[in-house]
Amino acid sequence: MSTQQVLFDIPGPRARVRHRVLAVLTLALFVAVAVWLLIQLRAGGQLDANKWMPFLQWRTWTTYLIPGIGGTLLAALIAILIASPLALGLAMLRMSDVAPVRWVASVFVEFFRAVPVLIMMIFTYFWLSQQEWSVDRWNPLIGVVTGLVLYNASVLCEVIRNGVASLPSGQREAGLSIGLSTVQVRRSILIPQALTAMMPSLVSQLVVIVKDTALGSIILYYDLLTRSQQLSSAFSNVVPAYIVAAVIYILINYSISKVAETLESRQRRKRRATGGQTTDGAGPTGVAGPAVDPLVEHNTKL
């Protein structure tokens, strides 16, 4: 049931009036809440021009916000660059023919999926600061990246396995029948197809990673959130600082998810273009339907 128009009849004149009344009422409620918030803000002095002026000065951006965005993106990029190959390796191990290897990989993946990212970050950070060889300046970054890598590698491993599982069995059988070994089939036939199909969800996993870098503020990593907190104590403008930080996060993540959507629709088009006989969206390229179960994809986004 994808089109929501099926849920209700096309409104007649009376229903249209009713809908309009409902819309006006909620709009009024919405406006009332907004006005109340603004009054509170004004009373607290958060609407004064001098609380917002800092954002018009270039120096605020170069001292706080741009380094903050840099810190956030740096941690996110390092994390995805390490996590994706690690996820690939884990997925290979988890699909291995040797049972003990499979078990070890499964325990690793299930463990790090169950443990909160923040717990891993806190542990790594404090563990590092105890070691003599560690460079204090780098500890927060390493802590953030370690937590993100362990969690996201495990999640992406499952995404890749889902992708492989959704390939038609003919792919594997054809590979075996031309004399490839199971490892060769996996490496040169199954994984490449799963990965291409996986691209959109790899990109949208970036949204999760960018959001989770904000956890770094708890272990003193200089990300956008930490910098905005510094900014807010420098100009005592808590509300404006948090609003600007939220807007920046939303802009970054929204554009990443738009890129993922574009990739996905391009893939769908390509599949349709090459697909001769399409049974349930599976073209001869063998990539069946949406390779990622939409439910699975939704749940990796939390």
Partner 1 sequence: MLELIDQFNVFDAFWTTIKLTLWSALFSLLLGTVVAIMRLSPVGFLRWLGGSYVTLIRNTPLTLIIVFCSIGLWGQFGIEPASRDSPTFIVDLNFRLAVIGLSVYHAAFVCEALRSGVNTIPVGQAEASRSLGLTFGQGLRHVILPQAFRGAITPLGNTLIALTKNTTVAVAIGVAEAAYALRNMIEFRPDVMLLNFLLIAIGFVILTLPTGLATSWLASRLAVKR
Q: Could you tell me the smallest distance in angstroms from the CB atom of residue 62 to partner 1?
A: 22
Q: How far is the CB of 137 from partner 1 (least distance, A)?
A: 20
Q: What's the rounded Cα separation, in Å, for the pair 78 and 146?
A: 10
Pick the closest to residue 233 from 74, 75, 70, 63 (CA basis).
Answer: 63
What letter would DSSP give residue 115?
A: S
Least Cβ distance, residue 187 to partner 1 (angstroms): 30
- Helix/strand/coil for 179: coil
Cβ proximity to partner 1, 60 vs 232, nearer residue: 232
Find out whether 166 and 288 touch, Cβ atoms under 8 Å. Answer: yes
Q: Residue 137, Cα to own-chain centre: how many angstroms?
A: 27
Which two three-digit tokens encode residue 39? 């009054």
Tokens representing 191 are 């994984």
Where helices occur in 166-237 by DSSP H, the ranges are 169-177, 182-185, 191-213, 224-235
Identity of the residue, 147 or 175, whose beta carbon is nearer to partner 1 in the bound complex: 147
Q: How far is the CB of 41 from partner 1 (least distance, A)?
A: 7
Tell the smallest beta-carbon distance from residue 12 to partner 1 (Å): 12
- Considering beta carbons, is residue 229 or 285 the nearer one to partner 1? 229
Nearest to partner 1 of 38, 183 (CB atom): 38
Element spanning 147, H or E: helix 139-165
Nearer to partner 1, 196 or 229 (CB): 229
* Positions that interact with partner 1 (CB under 8 A): 1-2, 4, 6-9, 11, 15, 19, 22-23, 26-27, 30, 37, 40-41, 44, 46, 111, 114-119, 122-123, 126-127, 130, 207, 210-215, 217-218, 225, 229, 232, 238-239, 242, 245-246, 249-250, 253-254, 257, 294-295, 298-299, 301-302
